[in-house]
Structure 1
Amino acid sequence: MSTLRLLRRLLPPYGKLIAVLVVLLVAQTVGTLYLPTLNGNIINNGVVAGNLPYILRTGEWMLLVSAVVGVLSIAGVYLASRVAMSSGADLRSALFTHVQGFSARNVNHFGTASLITRNTNDVQQIQIFLQMALTMMVVAPIMAVGGVVMAIREGATLSTLLLVAIPVMAILLGAVMGRVIPQFRSMQGKIDRLNQVLREQITGVRVIRAFVRGSFEVNRFRDANDSLTSTSLRVNRIFALLLPAMMVVLNLSSVAVVWFGGRLVSEGVMPIGNLTAFLTYIMQILMSVMMAVMVAILVPRAAASAERIEEVLGRVNINLLQFHGDESPEQCRRYPRPYVKVVHMRDGVDLHEAARRYHDALALLL
């Protein structure tokens, strides 16, 4: 939910670009789904029938469709990158501007190291997720739904295999996501700790050398680094099991299609070209699920980063300054905030003169 709230704040200025991107990706996906049908037609109407002109004519059409799909893909990636990078720049600017208005209490609440991490690493996680989502997450559902429709059109009997393959992949994905989301939250906190230790060592290097505390600081850094490394390895081990498991499901599905489809071809129920097209559609459907998995891998870390960014943006900053000393008007105006000036009442104080000097103050406090 935090990721969606953050994206709703970032994406409205780029609505037109996103609309163009979606149109390009839809056209690209339609072209990709059309190619297996052309390939099946070449086999059924060209190779089997020995019709060379049909093969050449349909082959030229396939080359044209492939070229258009390639151009659309390049344009889509370019627009997705532009939206993601621009949104990241806007988010960094918003964080920086908001933090500039923090009081010392707010800065101490988060810590300097944590604020640096949130404005760099956390924003980068949102950028990466956004770029992947704008490409793969748009293509994946269209490819999956279109692939199912085209697969049923080529062979309704074999389509029942999808009722087994897709739920199995969904169960694997859900099990992995439930385990890694807490680990990603912990990882971002440990990056904060690593930045804090490194920053303290750099800023206090003279004191560390003066008191001969080098070995102690080395141990502090090693502890923070080892903690981050162990968490990262734990997450990567989980993901290392996910992709091979998905590939097992994908390959077993292909074997099942060839096994049962071969029997249908031998019985004369299904043309060989339709089987070839069906096998391609099955691969496209399961690959679309794999694309969704690749984006889903980024969701936990992006969600953790979005929570941390929203925590900063939701913190109330200073919107009014109050000066109690002998600050000059120029000193009061140095800060880009409205201010109230305290005037200490004593002999010789001219309130009219004070009002003239601090004419841009919201009020004079006596």
Structure 2
Amino acid sequence: MTLLRLLAGRLRPHRARLVLLVLLQLVQSLASLALPALNAGVIDEGVLRGDTGRVLSGGAAMAAVTLLQAAAAAAVTCTAARIALSVARDLRSEVFRRIQDLSVLERGRFGTASLITRATNDVQQVQTFAVLALTMLVAAPLLCVGGLAAALRQDVPLALVLLLFVPVMTLAVGTVVLRMRPLFRGMQEHLDGVTRVLREQITGVRVVRAFVRDGHERARFAGANTA
């Protein structure tokens, strides 16, 4: 939720691209949902009846829909990447300006390594999440609604099974996400440690070599890297 709130304000300048993205996702979802119906038509009306013409026309329709789906998926990925890169650029600039406004005492409290991680790795994590949100999270509701409609049109009693599986899957995914949060937080702290050790070693490389402490520093970095 924090990431969603963070992205919400920074996606407003990209409204036109977001509208285009949703339209492309709609085309991709409709094409995905149309393929099973077209395949069933080819089998029921063409293969089972021995109608070669129906098989060829149905196959051509499936090929056209597949090409349309592939083109929409490529356009979605490209549009989402452009939006995410723009958001990351703006966020990185905001973080950099904020760091420049910090006092010496505040910079010392946060630590240089931690501030470097915030301006680089953390922004990249937000960028990656933005790509996933714009590609997967936008398509999921469209596919869910379309899939339920298609299932209900085919067989209402059988489609009711989805009412059981959807809550179970939601619970399972939610449990995994909740267990990932502390692990992800710990990983970010260890990244700070790696950056701090590496920065200290680069800054003091002459002293390290002068006192022949290469082995000790390799061990320090190996410990931080392994953690």
TM-score of the aligned structures, taking structure 2 as reference length: 0.92
SS of match in other structure, 1:50 = coil
CA deviation digits over 1:99-132, x for unaligned, max 9? Answer: 1222111211211111111111111111111111
CA drift at 1:79: 0.5
Aligned to 2:226: 226
CA deviation digits over 1:193-215, x for unaligned, max 9? Answer: 11001101110122223344434
How much is the aligned-residue C-alpha RMSD, in angstroms? 1.7
Aligned to 2:183: 183
Aligned to 1:89: 89
Q: Distance in 2 between matches of 1:180 and 1:78?
A: 28
Q: Distance in 1 between matches of 2:217 and 2:55?
A: 72
Counterpart of 1:33 in structure 2: which amino acid?
L
In the alignment, structure 1 residue 142 sits paired with structure 2 residue 145 = no
CA drift at 1:55: 2.4
Aligned to 1:31: 31
CA drift at 1:37: 1.1
TM-score of the aligned structures, taking structure 1 as reference length: 0.59
Q: Which has the higher helix share?
A: 2
Aligned to 1:217: 217
CA deviation digits over 1:307-364, x for unaligned, max 9? Answer: xxxxxxxxxxxxxxxxxxxxxxxxxxxxxxxxxxxxxxxxxxxxxxxxxxxxxxxxxx
Q: Would you say how many aligned residue pairs link Structure 1 and Structure 2?
A: 227
Aligned to 2:64: 64
CA drift at 1:4: 2.0
CA drift at 1:32: 1.4
Larger of the two Rg values belongs to structure: 1
SS of match in other structure, 2:102 = coil
CA deviation digits over 1:287-311, x for unaligned, max 9? Answer: xxxxxxxxxxxxxxxxxxxxxxxxx
CA drift at 1:166: 2.6
SS of match in other structure, 2:167 = helix
Aligned to 2:111: 111
Aligned to 2:42: 42
CA deviation digits over 1:226-252, x for unaligned, max 9? Answer: 22xxxxxxxxxxxxxxxxxxxxxxxxx
| Percent of matched pairs sharing the same residue | 44
Residue segments in structure 2 that go unaligned for 5+ positions in a row: none
Aligned to 1:12: 12
Q: Distance in 2 between matches of 1:83 and 1:191?
A: 26
Taking the TM superposition and a 5 Å limit, the aligned residue runs for 1:205-284 are 205-227=205-227
CA drift at 1:19: 0.9
Counterpart of 1:55 in structure 2: which amino acid?
V
Q: Distance in 2 between matches of 1:214 and 1:33?
A: 60
Q: Distance in 1 between matches of 2:211 and 2:34?
A: 72
CA deviation digits over 1:26-75, x for unaligned, max 9? Answer: 11111211111111122222222333322222322222222222211111
Aligned to 1:239: none
Distance 1:21 1:162, change over 3 A: same
Q: Distance in 2 between matches of 1:124 and 1:53?
A: 52
Counterpart of 1:58 in structure 2: which amino acid?
G
CA drift at 1:80: 0.7
Higher relative contact order (CA 8 A, sep 6+): 1
Q: Distance in 2 between matches of 1:88 and 1:56?
A: 48
Q: Distance in 2 between matches of 1:73 and 1:217?
A: 48
Q: Distance in 2 between matches of 1:189 and 1:21?
A: 35
Residue segments in structure 1 that go unaligned for 5+ positions in a row: 228-366
Which piece of structure 1 moves more, 56-65 or 31-40?
Answer: 56-65
